[in-house]
Amino acid sequence: MLFAVGATPKTAGVLKSEISVAIPFIDLQAQRRRLGEPLNKAIAVAVEGGQWIMGPQVSAFEEQLAEFAGVKHAVACANGTDALLLVLMAWEIGPGDAVFVPTFTFAASGEVVALAGASPVFVDVLEDTYNMDPASLEAAIALVKREGKLRPRAVMPVDLFGQPADYRAIEPIVRREGLKMLCDTAQGFGARLDGRVTGSIGDAAATSFFPAKPLGCYGDGGACFTDDDALAELLKSIRNHGAGTDRYENVRIGMNSRLDTIQAAILIEKLKIFPEEIALREKAARRYNAALGKSNRIRVPNVIAGAQSTWAQYTIQVPDRAKLQADLKDKGVPTAVYYPIPMSAQKGYAHYPSAPVPVAEKIGKTVVSLPMHPYLDAATQDVIVEAVLSSAGG
Ligand SMILES: Cc1ncc(COP(=O)(O)O)c(C=O)c1O
């Protein structure tokens, strides 16, 4: 059965309770309606302008993005995966190098390390925040040093589900070990920790503008962030085939990773409402926490003190996930599982070194994400909450 939510109370004589409207997991069309004509106009201007790749909207967006994050440079590129890879390439991280990556993350975090020719070394996460466990990071660094086969080079904390990693604990380890820190803030761009906005944390950071991300475009897009002038110049060169000052001068190996002008135009419009959208997501997350946190059979997400999440996902843990997913599906409530298998256990990555990862193995079986977006109205959320409580509330 589908629930009548988000529909007008009475449509052509049909009662609200009789209208079946599926609940979206992320309602990008609601945002699209809100953005309306100014967005259409921005796209039309980008098309008419004729500079379809790296046009003036791209540099305007880069400036606005850097200002938003409180960082000196934002360098736009083709997607979030490339944004991570560009930084690794600029730092000349490659064969023989170790990069410490949480095992509980989207594949791209570890993938780029392997693509660069280096070795990801997997680190466990914390059960209450899903982010990199500083103690496990210490264990992974010790393991690499003990084995003596790889050279520790960088740490890549991930701001999973929108929450900043625990940089208060991770940064001192990174500095003590003389490593670089590349923050994967694909899910957490715009989040805050102690007043700092993600993007400005780390030696460099990378984000994704994949449509479902809190700040997404209408296709693929990404950006790197840094305060380091020299690194920013390198990133600009590598994203454009290693270009030198002259267009057809190639001073290093690079790649084709540019942001389309249309996507930049869309992102400029979306950035205007992004702070308000983060606040709306926060409101929805608090409502979920207040209602679902009452059940001692449901583990609701925990945000560390001094942090603000962008709530890319609202993820709970339940003992019987399969039952919850089936029950919710019957009621028209979509769910998703991020991430059932830790990277260190994935076929393509199992040969890389890893610290013990008991938490990731455990939560891979219990995590489930519920619908979350800025336009999740209270009535719809009540339907979701009731469905979750009646299935898993105990
Ligand atoms: C944690 C994380 N890192 C990296 C990426 C890669 O971003 P993209 O899909 O834009 O390449 C994503 C998103 O898909 C992600 O969730």
**Following DSSP, what letter does each residue of 315-349 receive, concatenated?**
EEE-S-HHHHHHHHHHTT---B-S-SS-GGGSTTT
237, pLDDT greater than 80: yes
Ligand 1 binding pocket includes 210 (Cβ within 6 Å): yes
In which band, very low, low, confident or very high, does the pLDDT at 1 lie, cut at 50, 70 and 90? very low
- Closest listed residue to residue 240, CA positions, set 63, 77, 93: 77
- Closest listed residue to residue 255, CA positions, set 72, 116, 99, 107: 116
State both tokens at 10.
Answer: 């009475």
CA of 61 to the centre of ligand 1 (A): 20
Ligand 1 binding pocket includes 109 (Cβ within 6 Å): yes
State both tokens at 237.
Answer: 């060169």
Give the whole-angstrom CA distance, residue 71 versus residue 23. Answer: 37
What letter represents residue 169's amino acid?
A
CA dist list (Å): 281 to 194, 289, 349: 19, 12, 34
197, pLDDT greater than 90: yes
Note the pLDDT of residue 21. 61
Note the pLDDT of residue 328. 97
73, pLDDT greater than 90: yes
248, pLDDT greater than 80: yes
Ligand 1 binding pocket includes 80 (Cβ within 6 Å): yes
CA of 29 to the centre of ligand 1 (A): 21
Of 247 and 378, which is predicted with more confidence? 378
Note the pLDDT of residue 4. 35
Ligand 1 binding pocket includes 207 (Cβ within 6 Å): no
What mean pLDDT, rounded, does the chain reach?
A: 94
Q: Are 334 and 326 in contact (CB under 8 A)?
A: no
CA of 340 to the centre of ligand 1 (A): 16
Q: From the CA of 81, give the closest atom in ligand 1.
A: 11
Ligand 1 binding pocket includes 130 (Cβ within 6 Å): no
In which band, very low, low, confident or very high, does the pLDDT at 14 lie, cut at 50, 70 and 90? very low
Maximum C-alpha span of the chain: 74
Note the pLDDT of residue 247. 75
Ligand 1 binding pocket includes 106 (Cβ within 6 Å): yes
**Does residue 102 sit in helix, strand or coil?**
strand
What letter represents residue 110's amino acid?
G
Q: What percent of the chain has pLDDT over 90?
A: 93
State both tokens at 226.
Answer: 């840094």
336, pLDDT greater than 60: yes
- The residue-averaged pLDDT of 44-72 equals 97
Question: Is there a cis peptide before residue 339, judged by omega within 30 degrees of 0?
Answer: yes
- The residue-averaged pLDDT of 95-113 equals 98
State both tokens at 181.
Answer: 């820190």
Ligand 1 binding pocket includes 344 (Cβ within 6 Å): no
Of 13 and 232, which is predicted with more confidence? 232
- The residue-averaged pLDDT of 318-347 equals 97
93, pLDDT greater than 90: yes
Q: Which of 26, 77, 81 to mutate to test the pocket of ligand 1 (most atoms within 8 A of CB)?
A: 81
Q: Kindly report the CA angle at 302 between 373 and 281, in degrees rounded to 5?
A: 15
200, pLDDT greater than 80: yes
195: left (phi over 0), alpha (psi -120 to 50) or beta: left
Output the residue whose Cα is nearest ligand 1's atom 8.
80
Note the pLDDT of residue 8. 35
CA of 216 to the centre of ligand 1 (A): 11
What lies within 8 Å, CB to CB, of 87 at 6+ separation is 182, 204, 206, 224, 226, 231, 235
Q: Are 311 and 284 in contact (CB under 8 A)?
A: yes
Give 256-304 pLDDT, tens digit per residue: 999 999 999 999 999 999 999 999 999 999 999 999 999 999 999 999 9
**Does residue 256 sit in helix, strand or coil?**
strand
Note the pLDDT of residue 16. 41
CA of 108 to the centre of ligand 1 (A): 6
Ligand 1 binding pocket includes 108 (Cβ within 6 Å): yes
**Does residue 215 sit in helix, strand or coil?**
coil
Q: Are 286 and 311 in contact (CB under 8 A)?
A: no
Residue with tokens 């959208």: 277
CA of 49 to the centre of ligand 1 (A): 30
354, pLDDT greater than 70: yes
Ligand 1 binding pocket includes 222 (Cβ within 6 Å): yes
Q: Which of 161, 189, 210 to mutate to test the pocket of ligand 1 (most atoms within 8 A of CB)?
A: 210
What is the signed CA dihedral for 101, 106, 110, 115, rounded to 10 degrees?
-160
Give the whole-angstrom CA distance, residue 367 versus residue 319. Answer: 9
Q: Can you give the C-alpha Rg of the chain in angstroms? A: 22
Report pTM: 0.94
